Structure 1
């Protein structure tokens, strides 16, 4: 935490351009509303002007500003498209990032395991503390749920019903996480599941959690898959595929799926097509990630799959993320005091707090959606009835 001298420096007025941009979102520097930014070091202004959202995030991690209602701050900023209105160096950095995303395949096979190493392998104890007992690291389904565990079980069951799972079927789970879906589907619907992940930590814990069930968990990239499956599911993994690889991803699923099978894709989606992702999220949370737009998905699916159903329940992700935050915050003292987890320092806490709250604002502002698509081959017999 900053000392008194930092607070005195905070009285420096923000540059007019930043004050005006913030005002467009109903935000004020050092204002009285809970969503206002309380500046503890005037260096914040320079870092935002020069680095945009990356500077905003890093200066928060460094303790240079505070906000009582981070989720509402991000809701307002994202609703007003503040990043797109920045000028100078921030705009140049955005342009460079757009060029980099379009020219370089940042999700090529050689980089497939990077997100596993840098995000999912940070420690299973963090995710066990934050997530529900099913270890579901994706949006819950809150229509009839009163709490996180109910929402996640409802989501898992919704997926099983949408896939029309039947006992004895063989299911592929692309991006299986800690095995939550695989175990639930095997236990409740009598199917066998092959799950793949790019995280060693996920694989090890998923194998333990699925012991005694017909479930196999492999450390494998989707491009290395072979075999044939009655049903395929991918829950919260598609955001790591990247637009340049969408044809390969769907061609792989097409090759692996039986002619009468179904493929459910559960993914975050954007309300518009963008050339680049958020630089702070890319650097600190999900390296090489890229959220798809509806147009990008439709183009990739053209002449590959029939879209039997497209279900959006994006607002449920806001509730899910805020539930994760409460569980993480409640567990923080115990986690941070454990000498085995020395990397969990105050800067990590602020990074994780920033991540979860900006995610909540992303969905609350409706910049972010949550889609479940049910896909089938054109020659699949019969009619598909949508499930909600």
Structure 2
């Protein structure tokens, strides 16, 4: 019997999964509950590869059309596998590979300046039209903030920016550093809503080009400047520092270096905010498919890996908020939008890219629903009296910013002034 069939016999105890091998033989697994998923394999070698390294081989087989879904979606297939492995645990070969990957993760997460730039370019310097297919109009490529589940993606991304601005407690004329500024949306919003002066840094040429174009078009290029610069190369001091969706690219080897630099660049009475994906369990490894094809050099940390580096840098944790299912909702919206315009993506990048991207968006959403992924926002200060005694100011400023955005308010003052 094929090692893959033996593996599936042990792992898949619930659901409704049918595998058809390269010879046309079908075997069904599970307890016949839930949506039916029918998978066809097109050659024998892929059976062995999946049995030995399912975390990577399933993704690669789907990308290369050596594995096809004849019934059901990629999302349903992965959900079935994930929910079953939560009960039975991963197979022995996968556990062994995971231990080996953990033991060598320092090498893959070694991200000096040059390598960090290449890693960023791998993901972000693709044709920008791809991102236009599924992101909101502001091109926010990080977890949105859903005050309630009926909010659409564009409003949830605006709410995320207001939420961050309120935690930063930005006031007019302050200098803000945005580490990993993306396509410029957050920096431009901080300038518009809070009249701040913003410096945004990125390692992506494509992001830099678009961010500068947007600033010029909005008449904010004298107030918001974007630069192609590594965070380790910044020397100026700032009143506020923010980093959204960039820390996942730092690498566990460089956490101390990152927070030491934040301490160095933050003024004594300043406030910093770190927004990053995290894991709610113990330290682990990057999913091998994500590491190889999507975010090379990336890693999702546990808080237990982050907090010690913050403490050693001399920074004070003023507040931590955990956003649990917000990224799952964000990824669902991205995947729906991408699949609705998949034909356009295929014309731009080809079928293999579309399969890769569909697998990436589906698997990432499921990670937040079932595998302990979350988003944390850590507010950092140097002086214990840099912020008010209670968190009430966050709510007050967030509401004031919402009124400004709606055209019914004035630029924000600090809460209580």
| Cα RMSD, aligned residues only | 2.3
CA shift, 1:382, in A, is 4.7
Match of 1:110 among 109, 114, 125: 114
Q: 1:5 maps to which residue?
A: none
Per the alignment, do residues 37 and 242 of structure 1 end up closer, same or farther by CA in structure 2, a change over 3 Å counting? farther
CA shift, 1:326, in A, is 1.7
Paired residues in the alignment total 371
Per the alignment, do residues 288 and 103 of structure 1 end up closer, same or farther by CA in structure 2, a change over 3 Å counting? closer
Q: 1:162 maps to which residue?
A: 167
Mapping of 1:19-34 within 5 angstroms? 19-23=9-13, 26=15, 28-30=17-19, 33-34=34-35
Q: What residue ranges of structure 1 are gaps of 5+ in the alignment?
A: 1-10
Q: 1:46 maps to which residue?
A: 48
Q: Deviations over 1:141-168 (max 9, x none)?
A: 1114521100000001110111111111
Q: Deviations over 1:226-263 (max 9, x none)?
A: 10111000000000011111011001011111111111
CA shift, 1:272, in A, is 2.1
CA shift, 1:375, in A, is 1.0
Q: Distance in 1 between matches of 2:87 and 2:203?
A: 34
* Most deviating of 74-83 and 63-72: 74-83
CA shift, 1:85, in A, is 2.2
Q: Deviations over 1:309-329 (max 9, x none)?
A: 111112011110111112212
Q: 2:182 maps to which residue?
A: 177
Q: 1:273 maps to which residue?
A: 282
Per the alignment, do residues 126 and 138 of structure 1 end up closer, same or farther by CA in structure 2, a change over 3 Å counting? same
Per the alignment, do residues 352 and 86 of structure 1 end up closer, same or farther by CA in structure 2, a change over 3 Å counting? same
Q: Is the 8 A contact 2:131 2:139 kept in 1?
A: yes
Match of 2:327 among 302, 317, 320: 317
Q: Distance in 2 between matches of 1:367 and 1:27?
A: 24
CA shift, 1:76, in A, is 4.7
Q: 1:16 maps to which residue?
A: 6
Q: Distance in 2 between matches of 1:319 and 1:65?
A: 26
Task: Confirm or deny that 1:248 pairs with 2:257.
Answer: yes
Q: 1:186 maps to which residue?
A: 191
Task: Confirm or deny that 1:130 pairs with 2:134.
Answer: yes
Q: 1:4 maps to which residue?
A: none
TM-score (normalised: structure 1):
0.89
Q: 2:68 maps to which residue?
A: 65
CA shift, 1:36, in A, is 3.3
Match of 1:331 among 338, 341, 355: 341
The structure with the larger Rg is 2
Q: Is the 8 A contact 2:271 2:386 kept in 1?
A: no
Q: Distance in 1 between matches of 2:38 and 2:390?
A: 48
